[in-house]
Amino acid sequence: MLVNTLRLALLSTTASFAAVQQRTFVVASLPDLLTLSLHQFHSAHEFTTRSALNQKSFPALVQEIKATNKDIHYLSPKDLHSLQTPTSQKQPPHVIDVRERHEVQATGTIPGAIVLPRGILERDVSKFIKQSDPRDVIVYCAGGFRSVLAAESLVRLGYGIAEGEAGDKSKEECSKVWSLDGGMDGWIKNGFQVEKDGKVSK
């Protein structure tokens, strides 16, 4: 009888001690949980704020590239029209149309242009133009915005000669990457010829 009583007392004491330990653990963990929650809140807030500050509109991104990337050059439709006439000093430039196929089908292209939509430009451009080609590369889109991003990609791929890398070559001998201001819309507004379905308008 005494042994059974002692056993019951021991079991009761053990259970009480375990309960106290559990309560102590929970209480001790509350500050840690609070600290962790605050840390997660601040991290999420910092990420959201940083993301908001880094967000740019498409026109703002284009303007930033124009202002900072000095290896991209710009020309008007009239300038391009004059460049397409071969001279003894320099060959006519490569012209790339980076618009989508449905845009090309609707309006035609600048005569002699290579059609490489923006989505495949980086992948396929080397099939048509090598980085070592001395001729300038001119890219255009509908209005002169997407072509800026396309020109930046070409520069990063090694087209054109970056400032300070020309060596002994004069500026006239250096190949350059250009973006057409006004794009195809500007070309058409100037009344220049358009190539459509293999035919050039008069």
Domain positions in the chain are 1-55, 58-200
pLDDT of residue 200: 72
DSSP code, position 90: -
Summarize pLDDT for 127-182 with one digit per residue, the tens: 999 999 999 999 999 999 999 999 999 999 999 865 445 444 545 556 899 999 99
Could you name the CATH architecture of 58-200?
A: 3-Layer(aba) Sandwich (3.40)
Euclidean distance between CA atoms 38 and 138, whole angstroms: 53
Helices (H) and strands (E) in the chain, counts: 7, 7
pTM over the 0.75 mark: no
Angle at 176 between CA 174 and CA 177, to 5 degrees: 170
Confidence of residue 187 (pLDDT cuts 50, 70, 90): very high
Query: Which has more pLDDT, 75 or 7?
Result: 75
Euclidean distance between CA atoms 182 and 47, whole angstroms: 38
Summarize pLDDT for 41-93 with one digit per residue, the tens: 556 555 554 555 567 797 888 889 888 899 999 999 999 999 887 665 678 89
Determine contact, residues 190/149, Cβ cutoff 8 Å.
Answer: no
DSSP code, position 190: T
pLDDT of residue 26: 44
